[in-house]
Structure 1
């Protein structure tokens, strides 16, 4: 269960990185289209970067964060529920900030800053597993000491 916890925490962190990459691709594609004489308005429709950002941010990453929170209840990692709960909370805030940003674009800056907080929190959650002790935790391999005669 601990390795599952770690996997889902790293998946949330990966989701944040996918978000950053997809939104960068989306807007650079828009700029390229404008430079080529295109027009960006309501009729333009989303490009693949925008679609990836929307689907990953509104569906995939929140489901992974929710799964992390559920797994944390059974993983028995010290502080694991707290970190998974924080990760889920920041994910929910991220979605809320995205919706608000459409009406108040300045809030988009908080959306970007919260993404960094979410990334760091998910990585801390994953790191909690390395500190956990138990049968499912990774234990360092120690070579038996040589017997001296």
Structure 2
């Protein structure tokens, strides 16, 4: 699992439905949470993708429904400009090498995300969040719900 899968067009790669498993570790408090759900990357009228994630988040033994929405807009050379649902900038995403590092300042906190494409049906993110009140690591694994057919040799 140490190799990267180059992705020439991140929007084409992400389109579809993915199974999501996320582990959230609070390094300061020693707590651990888990999210399990689905992410759907559906088409937007402008050629981008609407990312909608929904599932269940369990934190300190309490399960709650959770969801979020992002917009992935076309960027140069097969990249994406990722924005919050309201259009505010979040980060860029360039998986042409199979790996990308992005940052996002949020008030007094700094988010640093590492994105890795493992193969045509698996990718992951690791977000490290640091700030005056936060010291978190969020590790998310994505698996395509319906794997793409592999070419025969």
Q: TM-score range by the shorter chain?
A: under 0.3
| Structure with the largest fraction of strand | 2
With normalisation by structure 2, the TM-score equals: 0.23
With normalisation by structure 1, the TM-score equals: 0.23
Q: Choose between structure 1 and 2 for higher RCO, CA contacts under 8 A separated by at least 6 residues.
A: 1
| Structure with the largest fraction of helix | 1
